[in-house]
């Protein structure tokens, strides 16, 4: 198999694009892909300050590497959730990556701030570990972006994440979440920052290949709490559809983006401010403070 650009030995075939590329031209293709996704969905501009949510996995480290390589001004945010050795390894790899690239990283240590880890707190509350983890990460991404004067929060969600979530939301006709699956959500008022997913049109296979070819040492292990999760099964369903007809995931997601307005506005205005932390909420106390502070 030959690289379509230079004719040398191919390293990867992108079946959905019917395109084979060598290592060098695949890395260049990824840079163009992310730059064009940012432009296509008007995510942010050259002067924007981008808070990059970094878990230490392949997607977020690839994203940070790509954004900084494209010349964007970035600040990394890692939330240490206290999930045993998994979180310790994730933090070490994130810190090592930031140091190796000379990038600025901020770490939120949940246990240090709240006296207990996400699993410990979940055991004493009504939320599952996964629900509390998601809530905690989203809260700190937005809060840190506000406090640091960032313009937008960028996350490493990939095409596989977004299509499996879309499928799940369609199965349940969850209109609220169907309205929110867009690659870019604009800011709402002063305290809800814009959210962008620059890897929305990249598959997780492409992101992993990007890391391996760029020498990025990422966490290959999975979170122990994700084992047997429904969305992993749905990723398998999407993978089967993709194998039958290459390009299915891309057509499914880009078609959704064109038609997402049918599901209503992306989110309601959160008009009140939390009486404890001052961040936006629908009523009285925000979900984060209810979960962590009672």
Partner 1 sequence: MKLEVLYRGKTYRFDERMSALKLVRLMGLSWEEVLVLREGRILTEDEMVNPGDSIRVVAVVSGG
Q: Count CA atoms closer than 13 A to 266's CA, side-chain side.
A: 13
User: CB under 8 A: which stretch of 9-17, 30-38, 97-105, 184-192 binds partner 1?
Assistant: 9-17
Longest dimension (CA), the chain: 63
Rule CB under 8 A: is residue 25 a binding residue for partner 1?
Answer: no
Show the site string, 143-182: x = touches partner 1 by CB under 8 A, - = not. Answer: -----------------x----------------------
Q: Does 6 bind partner 1 (CB under 8 A)?
A: no
CB closer to partner 1, 71 vs 228: 228
Q: Is 20 in the site for partner 1 (CB under 8 A)?
A: yes
* Least distance between partner 1 and beta carbon 52 (Å): 17
Residues forming a β-bridge with 76: 52, 105
What are the residues whose beta carbons fall under 8 Å from the beta carbon of 169, sequence distance 6 or more?
177, 178, 181
213 binds partner 1 (CB under 8 A): yes
Please list every residue from 217 through 246 that binds partner 1, using CB under 8 A.
Answer: 220, 222-223, 225-226, 229, 231-232, 235, 239-240, 242-243
Interface pick for partner 1 out of 70, 89, 130, 277 (rule CB under 8 A): 130
From candidates 66, 159, 196, 208, binder to partner 1 by CB under 8 A? 208
Spell out the SS3 assignment of the chain: CECCCCCCECCEEEHHHCEEECHHHHHHHHHHHHHHHHHHCCCCCCCCEEEEECCCCHHHHHHHHHHHHCCCEEEEEEEECCCHHHHHHHHHHHHHHHHHHCCCEEEEEHHHHHCCCHHHHHHHCCCCHHHHHHHHHHHHHHHHHHHCCCCEEECCCCHHHHHHHHHHHHHCCCHHHHCCCCCEECCECCCECEEECCCCCCCHHHHHHHHHHHCCCCCCCCCHHHCCCHHHHHHHHHHHHHHHCCCHHHHHHHHHHHHHHHHCCCCCCCCEECCCCCCEECCCCCHHHHHHHC
Which is closer to partner 1, CB of 98 or CB of 202?
A: 202
4 binds partner 1 (CB under 8 A): no
The two tokens of residue 216 are 């990025």
**Residues contacting partner 1: total by CB under 8 A:** 35
Phi and psi for 109 in degrees, rounded to 5? Answer: -100, 105
Residue closer to partner 1 (CB basis): 81 or 286? 81
Q: Taking CB under 8 A as the rule, does residue 204 contact partner 1?
A: yes
Select the span of 97-105, 143-151, 185-193, 198-206 touching partner 1 (CB under 8 A). Answer: 198-206
Judged by CB under 8 A, does residue 80 bind partner 1? no
User: Which one among 134, 189, 247, 255 touches partner 1, defined by CB under 8 A?
Assistant: 134
For partner 1, the closer CB: 186 or 246: 246
The correct pick among 209, 234, 289, 291 for binding partner 1 (CB under 8 A) is 209
What residues make contact with partner 1 under the rule CB under 8 A?
1, 10-13, 20, 23, 57-59, 130, 133-134, 160, 203-205, 207-209, 212-213, 220, 222-223, 225-226, 229, 231-232, 235, 239-240, 242-243
């Amino acid at each position: 198999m030959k690289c379509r650009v230079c004719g040398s030995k191919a390293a990867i075939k992108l079946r959905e694009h019917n395109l084979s590329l060598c290592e060098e031209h695949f890395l260049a293709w990824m840079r163009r892909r992310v730059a064009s996704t940012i432009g296509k969905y008007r995510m942010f501009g050259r002067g924007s300050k981008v808070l990059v949510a970094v878990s230490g996995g392949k997607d977020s480290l690839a994203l940070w590497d790509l954004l900084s390589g494209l010349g964007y001004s970035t600040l990394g945010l890692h939330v240490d959730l206290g999930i045993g050795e998994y979180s310790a390894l994730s933090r070490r790899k994130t810190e090592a990556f930031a140091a190796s690239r000379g990038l600025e990283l901020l770490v939120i240590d949940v246990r240090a701030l709240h006296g207990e880890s996400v699993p410990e707190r979940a055991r004493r509350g009504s939320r599952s570990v996964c629900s509390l983890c998601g809530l905690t990460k989203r809260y700190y991404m937005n809060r840190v972006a506000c406090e640091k004067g960032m313009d937008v929060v960028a996350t490493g969600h990939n095409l596989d994440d977004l299509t499996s979530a879309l499928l799940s939301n369609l199965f349940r006709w969850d209109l609220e979440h169907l309205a929110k699956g867009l690659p870019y959500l604009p800011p709402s008022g002063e305290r809800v920052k814009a959210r962008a997913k620059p890897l929305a049109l990249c598959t997780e296979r492409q992101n992993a290949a990007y890391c391996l070819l760029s020498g990025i040492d990422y966490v290959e292990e999975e979170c122990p709490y994700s084992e047997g999760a429904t969305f992993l099964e749905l990723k398998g369903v999407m993978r089967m559809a993709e194998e039958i007809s290459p390009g299915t995931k891309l057509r499914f997601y880009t078609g959704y983006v064109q038609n997402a307005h049918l599901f209503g506005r992306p989110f309601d205005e959160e008009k009140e401010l939390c009486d404890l932390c001052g961040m936006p909420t629908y009523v009285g106390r925000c979900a984060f403070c209810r979960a962590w502070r009672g």
